[in-house]
A = this chain, B = another copy of it.
């Protein structure tokens, strides 16, 4: 079976996506018909230039002082982590301090005035222990940044016409070079426009799902007891209670040199298979990120220390492509990971995985 799945990875590239790491680049926005025919229907990404030239945001938002003035009365949600990795895997040390496990960590989310949040993102301090990211994703362009929403389009005209509906959500993202977004996929068609700075995407098609070793991880949350300590990084990681499991991609595409060997032996289908597609989205460019495509995102800040993007989520079609994906995902391939099988689905297994390690230690 493994050979057949590997055949699928190469077939989709040879037939349709191309065998390099580049995606197609349109120098102007497509017509709705061409967008549907050449990209959406084929579930194929593209980078589009000159799609946002009419947005006032392109000239206004690079200025931190413009943003702080415009949003001086706004309270926004800031996501804080010690390492720039929210909704990512991290190591959780159990209370006995001897054992650790890998968990899915969510950011500590703190509501605060916009200017304080931007300051946390854009100001480099010598010994900063937290990484801040505005990435609320609940249609936050209107919900939290309503006063500047008019600087960008409320929707992408040609995309709205192609999809036959307005976006389900539009989100604004302000981060810095320390934040990255772990491999994941969304059940939306995504149009992702960079306004300031650059975003660096790694992309893998849905056919490559086994290469990311999706497994269930216990959910954990960063917390902070003292709001005034946000700058000094006093974030604690706590497992959710009751235990909750999140299926998440296992692969870190940029492991530290000392972890690289271990990661490569654990996740050979990722590191030995075809390279991910790579796409840098610059200010003024827009990425069409098709539904169900896995993506990993890093960013380069502008001259004032931040990267800004706006994305539009349009409802996807749960059609034959989705049915095929769901079928493919259901096929188990062997794992080199001694810790757990893929897709563990018994409650017993889950409890054992997290809870029996400390109990065992305590009995010593």
Cβ contacts A25-52/B at 8 Å (1 or 0 each)? 0000000111011001111100000000
Residue A317 at the chain B interface, CB threshold 8 Å: yes
Whether A324 contacts B328 by the Cβ 8 Å rule is yes
**A-B CB proximity, top 6 nearest:** A41-B41, A324-B324, A42-B319, A12-B323, A8-B327, A11-B323
Whether A207 contacts B320 by the Cβ 8 Å rule is yes
A-side interface mostly: helix
Whether A321 contacts B323 by the Cβ 8 Å rule is no
Task: Select one of B15, B16, B319 contacting A43, CB under 8 A.
Answer: B319
**How many copies, total?**
2
Shortest Cβ distance from residue A184 to the other chain B in the assembled complex, whole angstroms: 19
Whether B321 contacts A15 by the Cβ 8 Å rule is no
Residue A206 at the chain B interface, CB threshold 8 Å: yes
In the complex, A15→B330 CA distance in Å? 17
Residues in B whose Cβ lies below 8 Å from that of A323: 8, 11-12, 15-16, 207
In the complex, A32→B44 CA distance in Å? 20
Residues in B whose Cβ lies below 8 Å from that of A37: 36, 40, 162-164
In this complex, how many residues of chain A approach chain B with their Cβ under 8 Å: the count is: 40
Residues in B whose Cβ lies below 8 Å from that of A4: 327, 330-331
Residue A254 at the chain B interface, CB threshold 8 Å: no
In the complex, A324→B319 CA distance in Å? 13
Shortest Cβ distance from residue A160 to the other chain B in the assembled complex, whole angstroms: 12
Shortest Cβ distance from residue A277 to the other chain B in the assembled complex, whole angstroms: 13
In the complex, A12→B321 CA distance in Å? 9
In the complex, A85→B357 CA distance in Å? 68
In the complex, A321→B34 CA distance in Å? 18
Residue A284 at the chain B interface, CB threshold 8 Å: no
Assess A16 versus B319: contact at CB under 8 Å? Given A207-B324, A328-B324.
yes
Whether A317 contacts B42 by the Cβ 8 Å rule is yes
The closest CB in chain B to the CB of A13 belongs to: B323
Within 8 A of B (CB), among A318-346: 318-328, 330-331
Residues in B whose Cβ lies below 8 Å from that of A207: 320, 323-324, 327
